[in-house]
């Protein structure tokens, strides 16, 4: 069945000391933080909201640039696809990142480790962020 609808999500690639922040979701998969855009919300507003929800002790959030955008042909439902926009984000935390109920662990990963652990969907954005270092 052809997709008739699509959701839009936004993800943050946060780098500190040449390592990228990855989070493990409740299903046990590693990803970069972010989520779906709500109605009447811009991509930037959604990413700010998602980061504050998922990483409660985040202090400063500066969206730098878009690293990648990709379409997944299947989302939660068979006939709905998902478009994800990945931003490089500069962020400060009060200590180590605290996690919401949506994630069970976090890691500041090297490029190599991150590329081995995260969903394929996140890999181009991670490659692109490290291409600038």
Q: Is the pLDDT of residue 76 over 60?
A: no
What mean pLDDT do residues 58-80 have? Answer: 82
Q: How confident is the model at residue 72 (pLDDT cuts 50, 70, 90)?
A: confident
Q: Give the bridge partners for 73, in sequence order.
A: none
Mean pLDDT estimate for the chain: 91
Query: From CA 38, how far away is CA 49, in angstroms rounded?
Result: 10
Confidence tier at 6 by pLDDT (50, 70, 90) = confident
Mean pLDDT of the region 56-85: 84
Residue 30 confidence (pLDDT) above 90: yes
All structural domains of the chain, each given as residue ranges with its CATH number in brackets, are 5-130 (3.90.79.10)
Under 8 Å between Cβ of 7 and 83: yes
């Amino acid at each position: 069945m052809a997709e008739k609808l699509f959701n839009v999500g936004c993800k943050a690639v946060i780098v500190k000391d040449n390592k990228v922040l990855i989070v493990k979701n409740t299903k046990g998969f590693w990803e970069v933080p972010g989520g779906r855009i709500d109605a009447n919300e811009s991509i930037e507003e959604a990413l700010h909201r998602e980061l504050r929800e998922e990483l409660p002790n985040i202090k400063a959030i500066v969206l730098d640039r878009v690293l990648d955008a990709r379409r997944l042909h299947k989302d939660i439902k068979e006939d709905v696809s998902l478009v994800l926009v990945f931003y490089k984000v500069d962020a400060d935390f009060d200590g180590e990142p605290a996690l919401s109920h949506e994630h069970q662990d976090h890691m500041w990963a090297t490029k190599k480790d991150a590329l081995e652990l995260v969903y394929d969907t996140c890999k181009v954005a991670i490659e692109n962020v490290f291409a600038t270092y």
